[in-house]
Chain A
Amino acid sequence: MEALTKVYRDQPKTVLFTAAAAIRILAALLFPALPDLLTLRAELSTPVNSFKRSETVQYRKVYSSMSEDSTHTMAAYSTSHACQAQATTAAFAVALAGHTSLHPVMLLPPIGLLCYDRVCVQSAEKGQTSETDGAIADSTKTNVAVDLRSQPQPLQFGLRFVATFICAEAFLFGFSRLILPSWRFIPSIYMTLLELPDLTPNAGLWWYFFIEMFDAFRSFFLGVFWLHMLSYSVPFCLRFQRQPLAAVVLMMGIIAVFEPYANAGDAGAWLSCLCLLGHLFELTSLHRYTFPAIATLLYSTLLGPAFHHLWIYAGSGNANFFYAITLVWSLALLILLTDTVYAALRDEWEAERPEGKGKEIRQM
């Protein structure tokens, strides 16, 4: 035990990733039936990540194996590199994530902002010779007086970041074309997401809506749903200029709730990412609805599979049962999301006015 703790202290990342990989491989080895079982679950399996259903869409096969895990990994990887002010790798990781499932592209503005923020901090630290080597960014950055002239131009940085992203994306398309026989992978990957051809029930909000939709309005509302998701990207960046990490995490939450083939995996990834905003937990749990939200999540986690079974297999329920529970699920996630928004704003405010800490808000 002693040794284990020591190893963990020395090499925390290695231990963590080794453990995760070991669990993943062990689960597959010990329970060979597990993949089959999981692909049957509506909450987990969607046309975008499922091997079984990808047979119709030829090229998804190649991608689906990597898409689900890699999208999350790449989003996290990109965030982590943005935190280290490595613009190129961050943009490349976003490109990779977006290449496999399109909607991570919406993370580009917040991640760019995060990156820019860290670059500014780094250049500020470099400017302050009194500090030590500045390898590890200090979190009390707000108090540091910054020489504005030494900072990189935001416009210039943004253009460079976007250019990197575009180059990375172009490279990825070229690379994909190299390993695949034709360009047909582009429509088969992106049109699946844009046109939503498969309306198999899942944990998201789209399928029921588009089952009911009149054909003439289908393409319009597909656009509305995508634009709706997209419309949060820039406002989050504007509002959370001073906490870009919050903008990234909140945008991930928006995507997890509103993406076309939503599944429990995406929600889980987002919930894990919430830990990045650990400093806000106190605020949310004090003032907001963390308990109801968690309870609702558990409630829908239990009832969702039950209603799905009742509808699809037992035939004693109908689509509305399951859709209602997916609405509850999304509602719970949205409550968590709004709570986090509140907490982030409050945190910002309290940093400005320490005297207001712990006081109730009141509308005037």
Chain B
Amino acid sequence: METSSADGGGTPGLEGTRPRPSGNATLTPPPEPSSALFTRRSIVLSFWAIVLCLGLPHWLWTTSTYRATLPLSTMNDWAEGKACDLRFPFPIHLRVPGWTLGEEEELAGKLRVLLHGGKGGDGLGGMFDFPVHVVDSNDAYPLQADMDEALKVVLHVNEAPNAHEHTSSLEPWEPTVHLSYGLSRAGGRDGLPPWVAAQIRELFKPQQEALAYLLNGTPFAATKHEGMRAMMSRESEAKLDARSTRAFKPSTTYHLSFSLFVSGNEPSAWAIEDALGVYVKPLIDALSGIANFTVTTQVQLRASFSPSIAGPTYDEASGEWKLRKEGLSGFVNAAEWPLSPSVGEGSTINFVLYVPAQGQSPLVIAETGGTGWLVPQWGSVAILNPNPRSSQPQSPTATALTTLTAADLEPVMLTFAEQLTSLIGLPSSPTGSLALRLAALQRERTASLLLSSSSTLGALSRLVHKLPNIPIPDTVATSVSTSLQHLELACQDLRTGRYSKTAGDLGALGHAQAANEASEKAFFEPSMVGQVYFPDEHKVAVYVPLLGPMGVPLVLAGVKELLGWYRGRGKVKGA
């Protein structure tokens, strides 16, 4: 391209072929004919016309960034915890068999006062509510039918004179506690309401601590911070720390992958479907309200240790092969064992059962003598040492060697089921009732999803504010508004105590999940992610290599012609 613009003035350049100059006499080129001058100028002009008339609009058109408008202030409100005053009601239903409705109502009133307010309140500005309602014996709920029942208290008042036992027992599959109160004990009838209130408080204490732990340090807890801190004991905080480091981050789908890795070639099969049906399926069914689960299984023979660990050493004294504790982290041979990586939607929880070779059995962990361990946020590993009896030549049947039966798998499966609960973050207390633990998990999940989507929206808002050049596609605006909508609904549902999914409503957890999904989708919009790390300086590096060499002759020729035109005009004026 330089060729023609420079060669526009090529003809005068050829003037040098005139007779060679003698000595130092300087020759000036003969004046350019005006037609050549006109041609040259029109050529330069035509190049500039293309640049200015076509190039410039094209540049403006293709590099302008489209920014959809986002509800930034609402997003910030959520991120700062202003948009939603988090409240966790624990609706309690009370039934006292044998009492009249009036008596029940009176007790309920007293409990309400005791649980909620006064000096014995939680000090968190009513963050935890305990609305108490009376239900009749038919379990028909006269009030607040749309609230999830957090706890049903069935109080058996024993009026027999020798009854001074106070007991409390939980139903494992129902959120129900059976209290029995012996009236003859000290305190009598007056001591009843405080005792019941204390029992209820006791049941919900770990739950309150867990929620306080979740909210601690987030903007949602700003006003209640002191109360929160007072609430946590150091011990329970450490426990909650451990729980949250172990568990996967909340997800709507979990892929459970059960793998059998065998050092040699036997056993080559396992009755995993039976074992799962018996030991894991009930748990998964119970958890289905919280997330979706998929299950895959696989068997891999001749699975060798990763070369990076030292491998087990034989301990003469106990006759066992010992795995050092520091070797456990490298035990799973990630390079060779076909374990699915946790990519895409949902998290993959791996359960690995390892059967060592006969020559290396029994294999145990050196420090504890145990045969299984949990890998935080990854899964669980168990070692199944082949039954020493089956290695005796006289006893084994063929199937015993080649197939692990459901009975063989029982201890391992129970461990796996237990570890699954801690991997998805199911609280361990109250120990007696799975239903209460699940409800607690549901509340915690809802809260943490609310927090995480709020902070994602806040981050997006800050990003948009900080990078004025980043394009914002319409899809992001749509996702943000979806997310905000679901957050609003989740907050409402949370405050009224509707956690579970019902026919007409997703429930607090469902809305929080939807909000989180939409906010993540908005934040990780591919066309924006690419631009986040693309500062303006980089644009120079994009434009200069091509446009620089093109622009220099253009600009130089343009300037030269402009100068020439200006001088020429001056001359005409002077003459």
**Complex contact B11–A345 (CB within 8 A):** yes
User: Which B residues touch A348, using CB under 8 A?
Assistant: 11
User: Which B residues touch A220, using CB under 8 A?
Assistant: 58-59, 62-63
Q: Bound complex: CA of A227 vs CA of B471, how far in Å?
A: 26
**Complex contact A239–B7 (CB within 8 A):** yes
**Complex contact A342–B39 (CB within 8 A):** no
User: Which A residues touch B47, using CB under 8 A?
Assistant: 231, 235
User: Which B residues touch A239, using CB under 8 A?
Assistant: 4, 7-8, 39, 43
Contact indicator per residue, chain B 4-31, by CB within 8 Å of chain A (1) or not (0): 1101101101111110000000011100
Q: How far is the CB of B171 from chain A (nearest CB, A)?
A: 59
**Complex contact B10–A216 (CB within 8 A):** no
User: Which A residues touch B55, using CB under 8 A?
Assistant: 223-224, 227
Contact indicator per residue, chain B 424-468, by CB within 8 Å of chain A (1) or not (0): 000000000000000000000000000000000000000000000
**Complex contact A227–B17 (CB within 8 A):** no
Which of B5, B11, B471, B542 is within 8 Å of A235, CB to CB?
B5
Q: Bound complex: CA of A338 vs CA of B6, how far in Å?
A: 11
Q: Does B575 contact A (CB under 8 A)?
A: no
User: Which A residues touch B59, using CB under 8 A?
Assistant: 220, 223
**Complex contact A232–B11 (CB within 8 A):** no
**Complex contact B542–A346 (CB within 8 A):** no
Q: Does A228 contact B (CB under 8 A)?
A: yes
| CB nearest to B538 among chain A residues | A214
Which of A216, A228, A232 is within 8 Å of B4, CB to CB?
A232
Q: Does A364 contact B (CB under 8 A)?
A: yes
User: Which B residues touch A356, using CB under 8 A?
Assistant: 14, 17-18
Q: Bound complex: CA of A363 vs CA of B29, how far in Å?
A: 10
Q: How far is the CB of B160 from chain A (nearest CB, A)?
A: 82
Which of A219, A241, A342, A360 is within 8 Å of B7, CB to CB?
A342
Q: Bound complex: CA of A337 vs CA of B2, how far in Å?
A: 12
Known A338-B3, A342-B10, A360-B17; contact A230-B50, beta-carbon cutoff 8 A: yes
Q: Does A341 contact B (CB under 8 A)?
A: yes
User: Which A residues touch B18, using CB under 8 A?
Assistant: 356
Contact indicator per residue, chain A 123-156, by CB within 8 Å of chain B (1) or not (0): 0000000000000000000000000000000000
**Complex contact A238–B46 (CB within 8 A):** yes
**Complex contact B46–A235 (CB within 8 A):** yes
Q: How far is the CB of B467 from chain A (nearest CB, A)?
A: 13
**Complex contact A363–B43 (CB within 8 A):** no
**Complex contact B530–A231 (CB within 8 A):** no
User: Which A residues touch B11, using CB under 8 A?
Assistant: 345, 348-349
Q: Does A362 contact B (CB under 8 A)?
A: yes
Q: Does B298 contact A (CB under 8 A)?
A: no
Q: Give the residues from 11 to 32 in chain A that come closer than 8 angstroms, CB to CB, to chain B.
A: none
Q: Does A159 contact B (CB under 8 A)?
A: no
Q: How far is the CB of A175 from chain B (nearest CB, A)?
A: 30
Q: Bound complex: CA of A341 vs CA of B11, how far in Å?
A: 12
| CB-based A-B contact count at 8 angstroms | 97
**Complex contact B7–A345 (CB within 8 A):** yes
Contact indicator per residue, chain A 322-348, by CB within 8 Å of chain B (1) or not (0): 000000000000000110011001101
Q: Does B398 contact A (CB under 8 A)?
A: no
Q: How far is the CB of B64 from chain A (nearest CB, A)?
A: 10
| CB nearest to B554 among chain A residues | A231
| CB nearest to A357 among chain B residues | B17
Give the interface size class of chain A.
35 or more
Contact indicator per residue, chain A 52-90, by CB within 8 Å of chain B (1) or not (0): 000000000000000000000000000000000000000
Q: Bound complex: CA of A232 vs CA of B1, how far in Å?
A: 7
Q: Give the residues from 526 to 575 in chain B that come closer than 8 angstroms, CB to CB, to chain A.
A: 527, 530-531, 534, 542, 546-547, 550
**Complex contact B10–A236 (CB within 8 A):** no
Known A216-B530, A227-B58, A238-B39; contact A359-B13, beta-carbon cutoff 8 A: no
Q: Give the residues from 216 to 244 in chain B that come closer than 8 angstroms, CB to CB, to chain A.
A: none
Q: Bound complex: CA of A346 vs CA of B471, how far in Å?
A: 53
User: Which B residues touch A223, using CB under 8 A?
Assistant: 55, 58-59, 62
**Complex contact A219–B62 (CB within 8 A):** yes
User: Which A residues touch B15, using CB under 8 A?
Assistant: 364
Q: Does B503 contact A (CB under 8 A)?
A: no
Known A215-B530, A217-B542; contact A231-B58, beta-carbon cutoff 8 A: no
Q: How far is the CB of B473 from chain A (nearest CB, A)?
A: 12
User: Which B residues touch A228, using CB under 8 A?
Assistant: 1, 550
Contact indicator per residue, chain B 41-71, by CB within 8 Å of chain A (1) or not (0): 0110011001100110011001100000000
**Complex contact B542–A341 (CB within 8 A):** no
Q: Does A3 contact B (CB under 8 A)?
A: no
| CB nearest to A221 among chain B residues | B546
Max count, chain B CB within 10 A of own CB: residue among A216, A217, A221, A349: A216
User: Which A residues touch B3, using CB under 8 A?
Assistant: 337-338, 341
User: Which B residues touch A360, using CB under 8 A?
Assistant: 17
Q: Bound complex: CA of A239 vs CA of B10, how far in Å?
A: 10
Known A231-B47, A239-B7; contact A359-B54, beta-carbon cutoff 8 A: no
Max count, chain B CB within 10 A of own CB: residue among A219, A239, A342, A362: A239
Q: Give the residues from 179 to 218 in chain A that come closer than 8 angstroms, CB to CB, to chain B.
A: 209, 214-217
Known A232-B4, A345-B11, A363-B13; contact A217-B43, beta-carbon cutoff 8 A: no
Q: Bound complex: CA of A240 vs CA of B55, how far in Å?
A: 25
Q: Does A314 contact B (CB under 8 A)?
A: no
User: Which B residues touch A231, using CB under 8 A?
Assistant: 1, 46-47, 50-51
Max count, chain B CB within 10 A of own CB: residue among A209, A228, A231, A356: A231
| CB nearest to A220 among chain B residues | B62
**Complex contact A361–B39 (CB within 8 A):** no
Q: Bound complex: CA of A349 vs CA of B14, how far in Å?
A: 8
User: Which A residues touch B63, using CB under 8 A?
Assistant: 216-217, 220
Q: Does A234 contact B (CB under 8 A)?
A: yes
User: Which B residues touch A346, using CB under 8 A?
Assistant: 14
User: Which B residues touch A364, using CB under 8 A?
Assistant: 13, 15-16, 27-29
Q: How far is the CB of B45 from chain A (nearest CB, A)?
A: 9
**Complex contact B16–A363 (CB within 8 A):** yes
Q: Can you list 9 A-B pairs with a CB-CB distance of less than 8 A? A: A215-B530, A216-B63, A230-B54, A235-B8, A238-B43, A239-B8, A346-B14, A348-B11, A364-B16
The 10 residue pairs across chains A and B that have the minimum distance between CB atoms: A362-B16, A359-B17, A220-B62, A231-B50, A223-B58, A219-B62, A235-B43, A234-B46, A356-B17, A345-B10
